[in-house]
Every structure is written in C-alpha cells, then in structure tokens.
C-alpha cells in the first residue's frame, strides 16, 4: 500500500538565529560549549544583548532538530509531515511559512494558541562547534493534542526527537506517537538528539524507546553515555536490544550503521567544516529518505555522509534545494 508520507515527525518548533562567536564569548557568558542548554527568555535576551555589536546573525530559519530532518527528507524528494506547536505570533508565522515553503505538511497550518513561540540561539565558534541556547516557549507544551492519527497511519516511519524528553507533555506525546505507529504497523525511529539529554533524562528516553524502535539515531558520545560504555563497539552491542537498526555518527571518522544483521562502517567525506549545526539532523533526513526509497543501509549511509559533509562547509542547518538533488544523483545515481 502506497503511503502519503515517508516520515511523520514530532519535535520542537523553533526559529533559529545563528551567529559566529569567539571562544572568549563562550567563557565570558558561562556557556556549555557544544551542548544544547534550555534557558528562559530573559537569559536568551541577555545573550542577544551581549552579542549586539559583536556578532551579526547569519540567517533565521524554522528549526528544531526533527524539523531540520524532515525538511531534508522532503528536499531529497521524499514526503514529510511535522507535528509541533507554535504560538499565534510573528515568530510562529515565520516558522509555518518557512516550513510550508519547504514542502512539509504540518498540524500548525491553521488556528494557533496565544503565547510565545520558541527560539534557539545557535552560536558557532571558530572550530565549527555549535552551542545552542534554547527558549522553548509554547513548544514546551506540545502534547498528544498535536498528533494526527490519520497522518501517522499514512506514514512509512515516525521519527521521535530526543529533545522532547525534557517536557512532561512532549515526552508523553512521543510515547503516544510510538504506540500509534505500532498500532498501525508504521516503523518507528528515535534520535537521542544531544549528550545532555542522555546525561540528564536517560529514564525519560528509555520510556520513549519502550520495547525498542526500528531505527535508532545517535552520535558516539550519546551512545556511550546512554550505555555507560567506553568504546563505539561496546556501545553498539549494548544498544542492539533497544532497536532493530542503528545509525551512529562518528564525526570526522564517518559513521557506523547496523542493519539488524551486520555492522558497516561508512567512510567520512573529508571537508573543512565551518559550522556543524544541523549535521546530525541532515544525516538522519538523508538516511530516512534513502531507506524509504529502496536503498540499503550502506547506500543510505553514503548519501547521509555526503550530505552532512557538504552541510558543515556552509553556515546554517540547511542546504539549498538544488544541492540535495545534486548529492542524490552523485551518490545514489537517481
């Protein structure tokens, strides 16, 4: 049976503002380098005020980790749906316009609640590392009401964003999404999202995983942190009971994919990185596109590796639409 969507994702809805900063700014403002930190609106405004005259924003985009992933899947030629929550404000208007312009369907294309939409300040240091300070706003209240069972049933995969674990209502919605997918025979996937989520919310992530998902996305730090191991190989062995397939990104070392039977190393594509923001999101989006369109884990990994390598050579969490098709032709011959 043909499905309307390749991926139905639930995640935070944030408008990203990206700036280049120095390591001195990181130290001066007491920021957790390389991590996503939840902050209140006052702290975000404090950081923006400190940046005034010191850094100019590169771009504003609709974001959130899973949002970046489903946009990538869509731009590679797939079909995506994003379940989220934004407020009836200018930030929310921008988010929805940007998402729809990318061709992604959403539950937010209609009446919205009053409140303040979420925003993320993405700070890039000269070593290309991204440090994020996120004010979730109304996105923190995303819940089961945002789920569309008909759209879920019409999808090949659902994708759960690990960042949702920090909110009780969002975590409950993620668990409900997984259960609805299982009810309708839809495959399930989850990303750990960030080492901080693993460090502080492991129990909640375990709840989101339930009896296991079809596909688990993580990086090596998240994998070793969740399993309490000290090597990639040991982490893979410890994660196998929790999933039927796994994608573990290894930074400059490429990636490790496990298709349920065999593990495969995906070679890195050597590039000079200027901004690593969104690299993991892009990897997941490209991988999900490929496996939904008849490709095996190795081919999917090569597409994802090439796409994420290209992404980190530019500023911002997105590539131009034409770049996705160029990479697809280059790696998959489509």
Q: What pLDDT does 292 receive?
A: 97
Q: What pLDDT does 186 receive?
A: 98
CA pair distance 188, 96, nearest whole angstrom:
25
Instruction: State yes or no: pLDDT of 267 exceeds 70.
Output: yes
Instruction: State yes or no: pLDDT of 211 exceeds 90.
Output: yes
- The residue range of the domain holding 285 is 5-332
**Segment (H or E) for 149:** helix 149-153
Q: At what angle do helices 65-75 and 279-291 cross, to 10 degrees?
A: 40
Q: What pLDDT does 293 receive?
A: 97
Mean per-residue pLDDT for 3-9? Answer: 97
CB 163 within 8 A of CB 133: no
Which range among 53-67, 165-179, 182-196, 227-241 shows the weakest confidence by mean pLDDT?
Answer: 53-67
Check residues 177 and 16 and name the one with the higher pLDDT. Answer: 177
pLDDT, the chain, mean? 95
Check which CATH number belongs to the domain holding 12 and give it.
3.40.1190.20
The number of folded domains in the chain is 1
CB 15 within 8 A of CB 111: no
Instruction: State yes or no: pLDDT of 59 exceeds 90.
Output: no
| pTM summary value | 0.94
Mean per-residue pLDDT for 36-55? Answer: 88
Instruction: State yes or no: pLDDT of 272 exceeds 80.
Output: yes
Q: What pLDDT does 53 receive?
A: 74
Confidence of residue 334 (pLDDT cuts 50, 70, 90): confident
Mean per-residue pLDDT for 245-274? Answer: 95
CA pair distance 12, 236, nearest whole angstrom:
27
Q: What pLDDT does 85 receive?
A: 97
Which range among 121-130, 184-193, 225-234 shows the weakest confidence by mean pLDDT?
Answer: 121-130
Residue 320 structure tokens: 């131009």
Q: How many Cβ atoms from other residues are within 10 Å of residue 32's Cβ?
A: 12
Q: What is the tens place of the pLDDT at every residue in 274-324?
A: 888 899 999 999 999 999 999 999 999 999 999 999 999 998 889 999 999
Q: What pLDDT does 56 receive?
A: 66
Instruction: State yes or no: pLDDT of 74 exceeds 90.
Output: yes
Dihedral, CA of residue 73, residue 77, residue 83 and residue 88, to nearest 10? 110
* Sheet with 187-191, edge to edge strand ranges: 105-106, 80-83, 5-10, 155-161, 187-191, 215-219, 246-249, 255-258, 263-266
* Sheet with 57-63, edge to edge strand ranges: 36-38, 130-135, 118-124, 14-20, 57-63
Residue 215 structure tokens: 């596909």
Instruction: State yes or no: pLDDT of 1 exceeds 70.
Output: no
Q: What pLDDT does 54 receive?
A: 74
CB 13 within 8 A of CB 62: yes
CB 284 within 8 A of CB 69: yes
Mean per-residue pLDDT for 7-22? Answer: 93
Q: What pLDDT does 195 receive?
A: 94
**Segment (H or E) for 181:** helix 168-183
Confidence of residue 58 (pLDDT cuts 50, 70, 90): low
Of the candidates 29, 25, 17, 95, the one whose C-alpha atom is nearest the C-alpha of residue 56 is: 17
Q: What pLDDT does 252 receive?
A: 87
Q: What is the tens place of the pLDDT at every residue in 238-250?
A: 999 999 999 999 9
Q: What pLDDT does 60 receive?
A: 80
Confidence of residue 235 (pLDDT cuts 50, 70, 90): very high
Q: What is the tens place of the pLDDT at every residue in 99-153?
A: 999 999 999 988 899 999 999 999 999 999 999 999 999 999 999 999 999 999 9
């Amino acid at each position: 049976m043909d499905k309307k969507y390749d991926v139905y994702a639930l995640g935070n809805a944030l408008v990203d503002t990206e700036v280049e900063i120095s390591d001195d700014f990181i130290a001066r403002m007491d920021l957790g380098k390389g991590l996503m930190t939840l902050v209140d609106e006052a702290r975000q405004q404090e950081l923006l005020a400190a940046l005034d005259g010191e850094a100019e924003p590169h771009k504003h985009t609709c974001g959130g980790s899973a949002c970046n992933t489903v946009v990538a899947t869509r731009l590679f030629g797939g079909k995506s749906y994003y379940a989220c929550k934004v407020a009836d404000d200018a930030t929310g208007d921008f988010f929805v316009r940007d998402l729809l312009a990318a061709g992604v369907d959403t539950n937010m294309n209609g009446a919205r609640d009053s409140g303040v939409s979420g925003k993320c300040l993405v700070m890039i240091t000269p070593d290309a590392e991204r440090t994020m300070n996120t004010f979730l706003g109304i996105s923190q209240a995303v819940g089961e009401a945002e789920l569309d069972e008909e759209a879920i049933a019409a999808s090949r995969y659902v994708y759960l964003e690990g960042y949702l674990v920090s909110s009780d209502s969002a975590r409950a919605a993620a668990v409900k999404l997984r259960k609805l997918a299982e009810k309708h025979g839809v495959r399930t996937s989850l990303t750990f999202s960030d080492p901080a989520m693993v460090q502080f919310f492991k129990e909640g992530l375990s709840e989101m995983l339930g009896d296991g998902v079809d596909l688990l996305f993580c990086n090596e730090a998240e994998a070793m942190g969740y399993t309490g191991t000290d090597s990639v190989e040991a982490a893979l062995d410890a994660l196998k009971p929790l999933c039927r397939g796994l994608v573990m990104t290894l930074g400059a070392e490429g990636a490790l994919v496990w298709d349920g039977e065999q593990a495969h190393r995906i070679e890195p594509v050597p590039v000079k990185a200027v901004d690593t923001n969104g690299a993991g999101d892009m990897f997941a989006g490209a991988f999900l596109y490929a496996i939904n369109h008849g490709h095996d884990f190795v081919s999917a990994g090569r597409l994802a590796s090439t796409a994420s390598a290209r992404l980190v050579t530019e500023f911002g969490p997105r590539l131009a639409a034409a770049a996705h098709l160029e990479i697809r032709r280059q790696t998959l011959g489509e």
